[in-house]
Structure 1
Amino acid sequence: MTPPKVVVCDIEGTTSAIAFVKDSLFPFAEQALDGFLRARADDPAVAAVLEETRGLAPGLEPAEALRGWMARDEKVTPLKAIQGMVWRQGFEDGALHGHLWPDVAPCLRAWAAAGVKLRIYSSGSVEAQKLLFRHSAAGDLTPILSGFDDTRTGPKREAASYQAIAASAGVEPGAVLFLSDVAEELDAAAAAGMQVCQLVRAADGTVASGRHPACATFPEVARRFGLPAPDEPPPG
């Protein structure tokens, strides 16, 4: 197996605990939404998101539509954009800090130092992705990340999205390794020609699908796919 030239990481369940998004980020955005919209109603970026929301949910006030999408955890682009804006304020105010599993940052740094391009692909907005990695518990990792993709690139369960990411990275899909905890996302990436691996984190309760290679940690991924493998960090 040829070691990948590019590694693309999902976030929730892969680099970060599912509970962080569910128990920290989502409630924070829900609680702060109304106040944020009142305070930033004249912001052009916010106004653009509200206009997009009106187009997708005619007959509803934008705030009502956004709250409904939040309650149903819908992967709707304007919702992800507004959540990213709310989270940005929280991160910059110090009310939020991005969670990463302890094994993630050492591997990302080692892979980047070896010349491997690192990208993030998540249903959360690019804005939210950058905030999490800029304000992570392991420090600012954005300098070693070469690209970010969200639902604007395409749905995570469609092969065309992964073909677009490979093209953006300037490599053939076979030179890319995609890491995710979701088997259907891995199915799509594999259909696009990428190398894939399922992250099976015991703390998140992930179950291996049996359809793809599976690893419990990033160092295990490194050893399996020929990437630099730092020593395992202590648990915590």
Structure 2
Amino acid sequence: MGALPVPSEVRAILLDIEGTTTPIAFVQETLFPYIKDNVKEYLRTHWEEEECQRDVGLLRKQALEDSSLEGAVLIPLESGSGEEELERVIQAVVDNVHWQMSLDRKNTALKQLQGHIWRTAYAAGHVKGKVFEDVVPAIRKWREAGMKVYIYSSGSIEAQKLLFGYSTEGDILELFDGHFDTTVGPKVESESYRRIAASIGCATNNILFLTDVPREANAAEEANAHVAVVIRPGNAGLTDDEKSYYSLISSFTELFLPSST
């Protein structure tokens, strides 16, 4: 690792979040436990709201699609009024969310509800988004050099904006030109990166994707995007083959932009 020259055709830097801009520990030890501990209270408080009902509807539909999977939890419709019936349905939603999270599912239905729960947490000051200290200064430098900067994460776009809008560095949303989540496609499929390039309005080889996950890097590379794998404390280790194959950085400051000279 050390200085990594950015190819001259690169016009946009696409960033993963977990393990790249943000410690995995923040996601695993702060964000996810918050959902598990607070989902029931959130549902009880917001149940009558249209947004909450939409979220539950999406989860119910996802649960039907998952019904053949081991341990899947279906979400019944309310078959009457009364506190007991409401509690029964809410508990099914809670059990479904816990089951999905135990499998590290990344579908839109789950991510949408998680994003809305986190929104209340960030707004109340219960949670602040954590970013590595090299992230903000490096992105400012890239932008000064004329580079566009985008986020691509399996967390919903709303969850991304909350993390950066209520971050330990303050509101840093202005640093990003756009956000992508799994509605554009899974991060391990090359087609997703082609869709992102089309959305940005550039060729895939105008993009440099930074991620900690070799499978994602591989998918981006298959789409002809440039990639670098980010080594951060707490990230999963790489095989010797992966270490020798991929360009590696341990800090955003190691990216060397020709246009900034």
Deviation at 1:205, TM superposition (A): 4.9
* 1:73 CA displacement: 1.7
Is 1:214 equivalent to 2:220 in the alignment? no
Deviations 1:184-213 (A, max 9, x none): 000000111101000011443543623321
Contact kept? 1:84, 1:125, Cα under 8 Å: yes
| Cα distance change, pair 189–227 in 1 and its aligned pair in 2 (3 A) | farther
SS at match of 2:182: coil
Report the CA distance shift for 1:92/1:227 in structure 2 as closer, same or farther (over 3 A): farther
Checking the alignment, whether the CA contact within 8 Å between 2:36 and 2:98 is kept in structure 1 is yes
TM superposition score normalised by structure 1: 0.91
Pair member with larger Rg: 2
Partner-residue secondary structure (3-state), 1:156: coil
**Does 2:192 correspond to 1:150?**
no
3-state SS of paired residue (2:34): helix
SS in 1 for 2:210: strand
Q: Which moved more, 1:133-142 or 1:98-107?
A: 133-142
Residue 16 (structure 1) aligns with: 22
Q: CA RMSD in A?
A: 1.6
Highest relative contact order (Cα 8 Å, sep 6+), 1 or 2?
2
Cα separation, 1, equivalents of 2:45 and 2:57: 17
TM-superposed CA distance for 1:109, in Å, is 1.2
Take 1:104 and 1:205, find their aligned partners in 2: how far apart are those partners?
20
Unaligned segments of structure 1, at least 5 residues: 230-236
> Deviation digits for residues 55-114 of structure 1, max 9, x if unmatched?
121333333211211222211211111111111111111111111111111011111222
2:56 is matched with which residue?
A: 50
Going from structure 1 to structure 2, the CA distance change for 1:202 and 1:62 (only over 3 Å counts) comes to: closer
TM-score, length-scaled by structure 2: 0.83
Distance 1:228 1:207 in 2: 31
Per the alignment, residue 113 of structure 1 pairs with: 144
Identity %: 35
Contact 1:9 1:119 in 2 (8 A): yes
Structure 2 stretches of 5 or more lacking a match? 1-6, 65-73, 76-91
Partner of 2:14, secondary structure, is: strand
